[in-house]
């Protein structure tokens, strides 16, 4: 039989020879005669190889720029999928690796091979009238809401081969109608019959499910659980009904070791029927995107052995302690120093089991690098403001020591829940700072990032038996406004409405800015500190430093709070004041070159 095949090859193209070799291998392994093979699968045309499918403009070459839009890592992965023909393909690891898009490509190729068959239903042992389903597992009930389907649909619509055989429908959202009774569909736990009643699902894909049901985490957990159980149900059905042809794709980015998709992949990856593609973004992106310089990160794997960025002289010592050492490109170093847990997960594709809450600012040295020997405009970092009598708040502020008082300045007032203390922060923009930025795909750029000068943060305490007088705080702002260019005053929503209303009457813009609702303000503060884009006078900064370094970040709830041992009035005031400057993506004004 080999001699017959070799004689046939002389008249075939390279991709046709690949198909013939695959058929020969199948016939030898399964002891199938040519006649039996022809009876089993009949083709209208012989499928081209996956490489040709990706690069040739007649297939997907147009939307994929002749195949250049697919990184070499994924081209190799596509070949491996076709060679090994697994029943399940799991794609995990870091984010931004192109997992979902490449599943769409693979599903388009699976669909292409089905359409090459004379009768897919008969070849797969189904009744001729059976609808063959390509399922997209999702909690929604609309194909248009599924990211993988959108990519899959767009690729097919831009393929000449498909559009010679398929029909385009729709006006606002154009979608493809496949021939031969093959239908893309949503498999949802909220649809009657899961949305696949009466259809034979042969291929399917499930992307990670997140951000559902708003803030109701219990409801979100229930919805995810239903979708996950549905996937397992269909996996069992596909694996038994289409033993040698069906395939499901499972996509997950590393979150934590308890996540459903991660634990499911861990259980399944030992099976010969499962092919797993796991890894870091820097192992996926073409290497020429990086300089080639790396740095060592020690990964312990749990909260008792926290990961660390280490020096090369420490590698052997950490390996002896059982740490795994990974070497990300130097271009990502700032991300690891900013938040090593997030960087390991999102860039290296390594999930670390950690406690719910950890330090917001990990490095004391980074905070201390922001402290400068500048004149402090305040005479002390804490003062008393009584309801009546005594010094005014602005009596503690020396206007002559405020840097560039005519530049736009921002005030944030943090009002304590018990009215026994508040934080009062003043800030203005410094010169823009050039910073290198590296996107997840390795793309490099230089941005002019904003910097903030935190003129001062003053802790304002109550007199014994009294509350801090908010009217006197408002009056102090009014007096400062006559000498300093104050363009905005912000305060949290608690007890601040009257204060902000009075400030608006002065002609100053106001904003309700809560640092308790979510972590966005504090994440900007944290990044500003890690990149040395916040300047703080060292004198009278002790309370601010203590509170900032004690802050705890709950990444699950996206909240920043303080331990019982200290408050966060001053850190709230400081972070709130500089936020108005740091939230800008590009610096305004002068640039420090």
Mean pLDDT, residues 148-159 = 94
The 10s digit of each residue's pLDDT in 341-356 is 888 888 998 877 555 5
Lowest mean pLDDT among 47-56, 133-142, 221-230: 221-230
The 10s digit of each residue's pLDDT in 104-140 is 999 999 999 999 999 998 888 888 888 898 988 766 5
587: confidence class by pLDDT, cuts 50, 70, 90: low
| 53-58 CB contacts, 8 Å cutoff, 24+ apart | 53/109, 53/112, 54/78, 54/105, 57/160, 58/159, 58/160, 58/161
pLDDT of residue 1: 47
In whole angstroms, give the CA distance from residue 493 to residue 490: 9
pLDDT of residue 590: 44
pLDDT of residue 494: 67
pLDDT of residue 358: 72
For the chain, give every residue range classified as CATH 3.40.50: 74-279
- Does 364-592 carry CATH code 3.30.420.240? yes
Terminal-residue alpha carbon distance, the chain: 73
In whole angstroms, give the CA distance from residue 247 to residue 273: 10
Mean pLDDT, residues 201-224 = 64
Please give the residue that has the higher pLDDT: either 136 or 34. Answer: 136
Contact 394, 479 (CB under 8 A): yes
pLDDT of residue 365: 87
- Does 74-279 carry CATH code 3.40.50? yes
The yes-or-no verdict on residue 280 having pLDDT over 80 is: yes
What backbone phi and psi angles, to 5 degrees, belong to 264?
-65, -45
pLDDT of residue 152: 95
Lowest mean pLDDT among 102-106, 449-453, 491-495, 564-568: 491-495
3-state secondary structure of 326: strand
Record the tokens describing residue 23, joined without a space. Answer: 């058929």
Please give the residue that has the higher pLDDT: either 435 or 513. Answer: 513
Mean pLDDT, residues 252-272 = 65
The yes-or-no verdict on residue 476 having pLDDT over 90 is: yes
The yes-or-no verdict on residue 35 having pLDDT over 50 is: no
The 10s digit of each residue's pLDDT in 71-103 is 999 999 999 999 998 888 988 888 888 999 999
Lowest mean pLDDT among 211-220, 230-239, 279-288, 475-484: 211-220
pLDDT of residue 353: 59
3-state secondary structure of 414: strand
Nearest to 94 by CA among 342, 298, 339, 273: 342
- pTM of the predicted protein model: 0.66
Q: Let me know if 63 is exposed, middle or buried by CB neighbors in 10 A (0-12, 13-18, 19+).
A: middle
pLDDT of residue 407: 95
589: confidence class by pLDDT, cuts 50, 70, 90: very low
For the chain, give every residue range classified as CATH 3.30.420.240: 364-592
pLDDT of residue 554: 82
Residue 95 gets which letter from DSSP?
Answer: S
Record the tokens describing residue 68, joined without a space. Answer: 């250049």
Report the largest interatomic distance among the alpha carbons of the chain, rounded to a whole angstrom.
Answer: 107
Contact 224, 260 (CB under 8 A): yes
Residues above pLDDT 90, as percent of the chain: 42
Residue 305 gets which letter from DSSP?
Answer: B
State the DSSP string of 46-74. Answer: PPPPHHHHHH-TTTTTTTTGGGTTS-HHH
pLDDT of residue 261: 63
3-state secondary structure of 306: coil
3-state secondary structure of 111: helix
Q: Which residues of 463-495 are buried (b: 16+ CB within 10 A; e: fewer)?
A: eeeebbbbebbbebbeebbeebebebbbbbeeb
pLDDT of residue 7: 47
Mean pLDDT, residues 199-207 = 83
């Amino acid at each position: 039989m080999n001699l017959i095949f070799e004689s046939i090859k002389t008249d075939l193209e390279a991709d046709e020879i690949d198909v013939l070799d695959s058929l020969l291998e199948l016939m030898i392994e399964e002891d199938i005669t040519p006649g039996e093979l022809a009876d089993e699968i009949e083709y209208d045309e012989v499928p081209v190889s996956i490489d040709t499918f990706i690069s040739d403009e007649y297939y997907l070459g147009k939307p994929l720029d002749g195949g250049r839009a697919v990184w070499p890592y994924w081209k190799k992965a596509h070949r491996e999928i076709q060679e090994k023909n697994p029943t399940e393909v799991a794609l995990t690891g870091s984010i931004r690796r192109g997992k979902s898009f490449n599943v769409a490509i693979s599903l388009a190729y699976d669909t292409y091979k089905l359409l090459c068959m004379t009768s897919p239903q008969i070849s797969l042992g189904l009744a001729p009238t059976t609808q063959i389903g390509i399922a997209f597992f999702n909690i929604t009930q609309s194909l248009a809401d599924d990211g993988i389907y959108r990519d899959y649909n767009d690729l097919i619509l831009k393929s000449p081969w498909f559009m010679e055989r398929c029909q385009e429908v729709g006006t606002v959202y154009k979608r493809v109608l496949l021939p031969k009774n093959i239908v893309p569909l949503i498999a949802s736990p909220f649809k009657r019959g899961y949305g696949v009643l009466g259809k034979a699902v042969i291929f399917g894909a499930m992307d990670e499910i997140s951000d559902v049901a708003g803030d109701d985490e219990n409801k979100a957990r229930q919805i995810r659980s239903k979708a996950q159980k549905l996937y397992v149900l269909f996996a069992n059905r596909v694996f038994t009904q289409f033993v040698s042809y069906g395939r499901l794709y499972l996509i997950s980015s590393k979150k934590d070791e308890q996540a459903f998709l991660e634990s499911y992949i861990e259980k399944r990856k030992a099976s010969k029927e499962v092919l797993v593609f796991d890894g870091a973004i820097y192992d996926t992106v073409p290497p020429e995107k990086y300089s080639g310089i790396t740095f060592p990160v020690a990964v312990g794997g749990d909260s008792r052995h926290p990961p660390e960025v280490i020096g090369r002289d420490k590698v052997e010592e950490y390996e002896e302690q059982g740490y795994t050492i990974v070497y990300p490109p130097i271009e990502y170093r700032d991300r690891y120093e900013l938040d090593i847990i997030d960087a390991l997960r999102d860039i290296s594709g390594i999930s670390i089991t950690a406690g719910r809450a950890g330090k917001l600012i990990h490095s004391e040295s980074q905070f201390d690098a922001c402290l400068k020997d500048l004149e402090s405009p305040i005479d002390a970092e804490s003062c008393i403001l009584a309801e009546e009598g005594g010094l005014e708040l602005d009596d503690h502020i020396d206007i002559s020591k405020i840097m560039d008082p005519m530049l736009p300045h921002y005030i944030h007032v943090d009002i304590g829940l018990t009215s026994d203390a508040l934080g009062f922060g003043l800030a203005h923009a410094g010169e823009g700072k050039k910073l290198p930025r590296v996107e997840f795909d390795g793309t490099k750029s230089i941005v002019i990032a904003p910097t903030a000068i935190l003129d001062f943060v003053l802790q304002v305490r109550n007199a014994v038996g009294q509350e801090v007088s908010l009217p006197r705080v408002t009056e102090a702002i009014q007096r400062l406004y006559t000498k300093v260019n104050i363009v905005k005053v912000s305060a949290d929503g608690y007890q601040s409405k009257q204060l902000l209303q009075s400030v608006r009457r002065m002609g100053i813009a106001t904003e309700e800015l809560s640092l308790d609702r979510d972590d966005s303000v504090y994440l900007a503060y944290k990044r500003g500190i890690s990149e040395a884009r916040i300047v703080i006078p060292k004198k009278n900064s002790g309370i601010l430093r203590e509170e900032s370094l004690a802050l705890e970040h709950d990444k699950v709830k996206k909240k920043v709070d303080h331990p019982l041992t200290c408050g966060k009035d001053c850190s709230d005031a400081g972070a709130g004041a500089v936020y108005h400057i740091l939230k800008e993506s590009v610096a305004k004004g002068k640039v420090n070159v």
